[in-house]
Amino acid sequence: MMITEATNNKPQTINHRQTTNNKPQTTNHKQKMSTDKSKLSAVEHIKVKSDGLRGTIKESLRDEETGAIREDDQAVIKFHGMYQQDDRDRREERAEKKLERLYSYMIRLRLPGGFLPADKWVKMNEIADRYSTGVIKITTRQTIQLHGILKSSIKPVISDFNAAELDSIATCGDINRNVTSSAYIQDTSIHEAVDVYADKISRLLMPKTKAYYEIWLDGEKLTDKEAEVDPLYQDRYLPRKFKIGIAIPPNNDTDVFTNDIGLIAIVENGKLAGFNIAIGGGLSTTHGNAETYARLGTVIGFADTEEKLLKAVYEIVTVQRDFGNRTDRKLARLKYTVDRMGADAYREEVEKRAGFKLEAPRPFTFTERRDVYGWEKDDKGNWHYTVFIENGRVTDENGVNLKTGLLKVAETGKVLFRFTANQHLILGDVKEKDKKIVQKILDEHNIDAHTKNAGAVRKNSLACVALPTCPLALAEAQRYLPTLISLTEPVLAKHGLENEGIVLRMTGCPNGCARPYAAEIALIGTGPGLYNLHIGGDRIGQRLNTKYKENLNEENILKELDSLFGTYVKKRKSGETFGDFTNREILGNLN
Ligand code: SRM
Ligand code: SF4
């Protein structure tokens, strides 16, 4: 079996050069980051003072004078899976009327591996209609968010989630987030063996505090503080957010190398033999800050048993807890710790703590990174239908009644909902005898036609939320990418490229929520209507792209793409993807 670049630990060396002039420095890893309290970032103080993530949230909720909560509490509620936001479209109008911003909250569910039984979708749909904008948003980490929830509705929402055995614990904040796992079913026995790890890891890395239950569900106030002593997170939690993803080769549908920890399932003789472990993936950069860079994970070893895997994962987290940067949040992700210590030194520290050595990485090959739309039959004879949901927005619009149709499908009780890390939805585990019923609903709501008719680039595209809710957005993303793709499709057709599944991703800022740096073409917002154009990433998520042009408006984006597509058609080698071609021919890199 061919050993991919990633097993040779190469992707990150290529990629640093592409996104930044920053050279990772290897220093004595024994030297932990400064613990001088005066240098710690503000959030570090908030966490420690928060009394087990309680802060003054209860007081903030009682304050009826404002739709907002206290500033410090805004950092604390993230650990409970929610963000304070405001409708940016209405800022001006509200300011003119001397009204405060229209504050509301986004709440994100914890769904390891992206599973949601049909009856819970029905409940979610009810909650979305009653308390939120009504749009159910599937995220790039296989879960769902509701937007526009008023302060007074947060408790009822969490209470309704709880009644449906759902929670939003640790889906945001400086803690391990939703664990993703490959959703594309190939071999069911392998999937069953792998998928359990998403849940096991999620549970292993949950915080011990009972604040969530106390605040949102009126649980009894804990008097025995010993019961929530947290050996993993202590009182300072992690220096920054932490993400774990699992992929089953050959499909890298979870973009495994973009996670702080990426686990690659190794299948030998038809059985799960264990996981290769990659560390230090992460995508965010900051415009104008050359110290920040996107990075793909470095494979550091292989674990063959559950015990070893969970121990290794746990200790990778504790090393980041102890060695990560707590003074500058821009440089606090694991990727920077790995580069500062060196990947070998990081592994050695993990091995020392875990009490065993990781084995050498095993060979693996990724050949694709995509959702496979429509019906697919698994080896047990069950059917799975992947619905194309543009940018994860489940709503009824433009003649496609996604929300109504999916509710009807859920009400049949004959499917298991599973979200993909590409913002789409799999209606899974459908029995042969039930397939017709599901198909009928998909037809009646125009969902099947919508899925079938979407063009190849649209099907492989991602956009983040951006405006109007994201406070960090510099430009539009999910509200604009569909239009831009409609304008790009004739350009693709002109060059005979309409069936090329080029991976195109757009974000409203450089934080990278739609994983743009791992796309063949990325458009990264710099200001209203303006985007940096990145090219040269590969199709399977093992090579980052490079900034090619800055601050392009729509007209210039289309001009650049027209020219690049034209050159591609003329000069590509047989079978060469657009990303590989632009990397070789336009950027002059050796593949
Ligand atoms: Fe993200 C912050 C939305 C996946 C990197 N992200 C945000 C916030 C919460 C803005 C904020 O801090 O106030 C956005 C809320 C927008 C809104 O109105 O809903 C937001 N991120 C999203 C989602 C919903 C995008 C989507 O359209 O699907 C994704 C939710 C995933 C989930 O379910 O947990 C989402 N974010 C990602 C990813 C992709 C991934 O994880 O696979 C990344 C890049 C990978 C990475 O983490 O390196 C990502 N989000 C960020 C960052 C930069 C983090 C950093 O390392 O500096 C921020 C800003 C921050 O943390 O300061 C951010
Ligand atoms: Fe907001 Fe930027 Fe993330 Fe888009 S990439 S959701 S604009 S933080």
- Which is the catalytic residue, given 47, 78, 108, 110? 108
What pLDDT does residue 38 have? 75
Residue 201 in domain: no
Residues 447 and 552 in one domain: no
Listed residues 370, 398, 419: the one ending a domain: 370
Q: What are the residues whose beta carbons fall under 8 Å from the beta carbon of 284, sequence distance 6 or more? A: 292, 294, 333, 510, 511, 512
What pLDDT does residue 450 have? 98
Reference 143, options 589, 398, 513; nearest CA is: 513
Residues 217 and 96 in one domain: yes
Q: Count each helix (H run) and each strand (E run) in the chain, helices first.
A: 19, 22
Residue 35 in domain: no
Closest atom of ligand 2 relative to the 466 alpha carbon: 7
Residues 526 and 559 in one domain: yes
**pTM of the complete model:** 0.95
Q: Is the CB of 470 under 6 A from ligand 2?
A: yes
- Which is the catalytic residue, given 47, 243, 340, 393? 243
Check if 353 is active-site. Answer: no
Check if 433 is active-site. Answer: no
Residues 9 and 73 in one domain: no
Report the domain count for the chain.
4
What pLDDT does residue 226 have? 73
* Ligand 1 lining (C-beta closer than 6 Å): 83, 85, 106, 108, 139-141, 143, 145, 171, 177-178, 241, 243, 258, 282-284, 333, 392, 423, 464-465, 469-472, 511-515
Token readout for 471 is: 């406070």
Q: Which ligand is nearest to the CA of 531?
A: 2
Q: In angstroms, what is the span from residue 570 Cα to ligand 1's centroid?
A: 38
Reference 578, options 524, 514, 503, 507; nearest CA is: 503
Listed residues 454, 488, 514: the one ending a domain: 454
Residues 465 and 542 in one domain: yes
Residues 6 and 153 in one domain: no
Whole-angstrom Cα distance, residue 369 to residue 577?
13
What pLDDT does residue 332 have? 98
Terminal-residue alpha carbon distance, the chain:
20
What pLDDT does residue 33 have? 62
| Coil, strand or helix at 445 | coil
Q: Is the CB of 464 under 6 A from ligand 2?
A: yes
State phi, psi for 271 to the nearest 5 degrees: -125, 155
Identify whether the C-beta of residue 395 lies closer than 8 Å to the C-beta of residue 479.
Answer: no
Specify the residue for token string 């009504």. 134
Closest atom of ligand 2 relative to the 475 alpha carbon: 7
- Other beta carbons within 10 Å of 155: 14
User: Between the CA of residue 62 and those of 39, 90, 157, what are the distances in Å?
Assistant: 33, 25, 16
Range of the domain at 395: 374-454
Residues 157 and 303 in one domain: no
Residue 263 in domain: yes
Residues 472 and 380 in one domain: no
Check if 513 is active-site. Answer: yes
Identify whether the C-beta of residue 160 lies closer than 8 Å to the C-beta of residue 33.
Answer: no
Residues 469 and 447 in one domain: no
Residues 158 and 289 in one domain: no
Residue 31 in domain: no
Listed residues 403, 424, 454: the one ending a domain: 454
| Residue-by-residue pLDDT tens, the chain, 591 positions | 233 333 333 333 333 333 333 333 333 444 466 556 779 999 999 999 999 999 999 999 999 999 999 999 999 999 999 999 999 999 999 999 999 999 999 999 999 999 999 999 999 999 999 999 999 999 999 999 999 999 999 999 999 999 999 999 999 999 999 999 999 887 899 999 999 999 999 999 999 999 999 999 988 776 677 778 999 999 999 999 999 999 999 999 999 999 999 999 999 999 999 999 999 999 999 999 999 999 999 999 999 999 999 999 999 999 999 999 999 999 999 999 999 999 999 999 999 999 999 999 999 999 999 999 999 999 999 999 999 999 999 999 999 999 999 999 999 999 999 999 999 999 999 999 999 999 999 999 999 999 999 999 999 999 999 999 999 999 999 999 999 999 999 999 999 999 999 999 999 999 999 999 999 999 999 999 999 999 999 999 999 999 999 999 999 999 999 999 999 999 999 999 999 999 999 999 865
Residue 30 in domain: no
Q: In angstroms, what is the span from residue 590 Cα to ligand 2's centroid?
A: 32
Q: Is the CB of 481 under 6 A from ligand 2?
A: no
Q: Among positive and negative, which fits the CA dihedral 363, 367, 371, 375?
A: negative
118-131 vs 402-412: helix crossing angle, rounded to 10: 140
Residue 203 in domain: no
Residue 198 in domain: no
Q: What DSSP string runs through 75-134?
A: HHGGGGTEEEEE-GGGHHHHHHTTPPP-EEEEEE---GGGEEEHHHHHHHHHHHHHHS-S
CATH of the domain at 482: 3.30.413.10
Q: Among positive and negative, which fits the CA dihedral 474, 477, 480, 486?
A: positive
Residues 346 and 379 in one domain: no
Residues 141 and 155 in one domain: yes
